[in-house]
Amino acid sequence: MTKHVTLTQFIIEQQRELPGVSGAFTSLLNDVVTACKKISNLVNRGNLIGVLGSADSQNVQGEVQKKLDIITNDIMVDALNWTGHLAGMASEEIDDIISIPSQYPKGKYLALFDPLDGSSNIDVNLAVGTIFSILRCCEGVEPALEDFLRKGSEQVCAGFVLYGPSTMMVLTTGQGVNGFTLDQAIGEFILTHPNMTIPNDTNEFAINMSNQRFWEPPVQRYIEECLQGTEGLRKKDFNMRWVASMVAEVYRILTRGGVFLYPFDLRDPSRAGKLRIMYEANPMAFIIEQAGGACSTGRERILDIKPKGLHQRVPVILGSKNEVERIVGYHQEG
């Protein structure tokens, strides 16, 4: 009989190799896992329990919220706020820092999350997910905003869960990237994709072509070269993909390579990009780099950016290293 490695076992064994590590981090990850299992169940049941459709409200970014945006945010908060492992939280759906209730002990970590990435897909039964990031904090203190505004390179853990035909969790603690599949029969995430790596080269790109007229010249140049195929400069055909769910795009890149672009565009020069650095760009950049890929705004490495606000947006270009470096090079040429 094949012996399966559960996510809990995997994390405990990783932590044993690090001196002076307590069990608090493993327990925190188990709390995140519990929340994601609940979200997976809701996503799978959908209209059967009346959780699809618009909530007739907007989040802090002015985007229309789905019912599941609000429900999944509450699930994450309720699963994490009482356990004593966190000093505070931040969510894409909430304007300010989420404090730990005074009746509960405070821990030494901060959690940041996008509880339902790609929620525009939920009503048409396409892939959605949860993205999370963990930072260290001084134990027992009330964190200030500045404690959250840290470079992505300071993350101690990042991960995402993809709610697709199967529920997958992809995780890094800075020692490579591993993928786990939820076994619904036993309610455990099982290691199924060890040591995930991204090939340096690819012939696949993902971008929203409807925004093409707003892109800067470096991105226009790159995409045009891809579209020219074997007759063009690159001398090979490219495939284009676009799921409108970052978790699905990144998972595909982790499993077979590719490059994903949500670049700066010229519609509103005051808004640097679409994706949030704290809840989307930083955790995904950590995962992508740990898998051997690259992640940039086109002008700088994402993990080197010092955030200025809790909901700051940035352009994102990530995936197979050689393609990302080519696009960065086009930006540097001006």
Listed by start position, the domains of the chain span 7-193, 204-333
Across 85-98, average pLDDT: 96
Amino acid at 84: G
57 has a pLDDT exceeding 90: no
The Cβ of residue 193 has, within 10 Å, a number of other Cβ atoms equal to 16
Torsion angle of alpha carbons 32, 195, 261, 89, nearest 10°?
20
pLDDT at 110: 97
d(CA 210, CA 291): 30
Across 289-317, average pLDDT: 97
pLDDT at 269: 77
Q: Decide: helix, strand or coil at residue 269.
A: coil
Say if residue 69 carries a ligand binding annotation. no
Backbone angles phi, psi at 137, to 5 degrees: -150, 160
Say if residue 91 carries a ligand binding annotation. no
The Cβ of residue 299 has, within 10 Å, a number of other Cβ atoms equal to 13
Residue-averaged pLDDT of the chain: 91
pLDDT at 50: 57
95 has a pLDDT exceeding 90: yes
Long-range pairs of 208-214 with CB within 8 A, sequence gap ≥ 24: 208/242, 208/244, 208/262, 209/240, 209/242, 211/265, 214/265, 214/266, 214/267
pLDDT at 43: 86
Say if residue 178 carries a ligand binding annotation. no
Task: Encode pLDDT of 115-152 as tens digits.
Answer: 999 877 777 777 899 999 999 997 777 899 999 999 99
Say if residue 78 carries a ligand binding annotation. no
d(CA 86, CA 92): 17
% residues pLDDT > 90 (the chain): 76
Across 3-12, average pLDDT: 90
182 has a pLDDT exceeding 60: yes
d(CA 41, CA 319): 30
Say if residue 201 carries a ligand binding annotation. no
pLDDT at 64: 53
Amino acid at 147: D
Say if residue 280 carries a ligand binding annotation. yes
Instruction: Please name every residue paired with 259 in a beta bridge, in sequence order, or none if there are none.
Output: 205, 319
The Cβ of residue 329 has, within 10 Å, a number of other Cβ atoms equal to 12
pLDDT at 16: 78
Q: pLDDT class for 305, splitting at 50, 70, 90?
A: very high
Kindly report the pTM of this predicted structure: 0.93
Say if residue 92 carries a ligand binding annotation. yes
More confident residue, 69 or 56: 69
Considering only CA atoms, which of 129, 128, 171 is closest in space to residue 7? 171
d(CA 297, CA 32): 29
d(CA 137, CA 95): 21
Say if residue 188 carries a ligand binding annotation. no
Amino acid at 129: G
Q: Does domain 7-193 have CATH number 3.40.50.300?
A: no
Half-sphere exposure of 114 (CA within 13 A, CB side): 30
Scored b (16 or more CB within 10 A) or e, 22-43 reads eebbbebbbbbbebbbbbbebb
210 has a pLDDT exceeding 60: yes
Backbone angles phi, psi at 63, to 5 degrees: -95, 145
The CATH fold assigned to 204-333 is D-Maltodextrin-Binding Protein; domain 2 (3.40.190)
Q: Say if 7-193 and 204-333 have the same CATH topology.
A: no
Tokens, residue 168: 């997958």
% residues pLDDT > 70 (the chain): 91
Report how far apart, in Å, the C-alpha atoms of 307 and of each of 136, 282, 313 are.
16, 10, 9
Task: Encode pLDDT of 147-178 as tens digits.
Answer: 999 999 999 999 999 999 999 999 999 999 99
pLDDT at 270: 78
Task: Encode pLDDT of 19-55 as tens digits.
Answer: 556 688 999 999 999 999 999 988 887 665 456 665 5
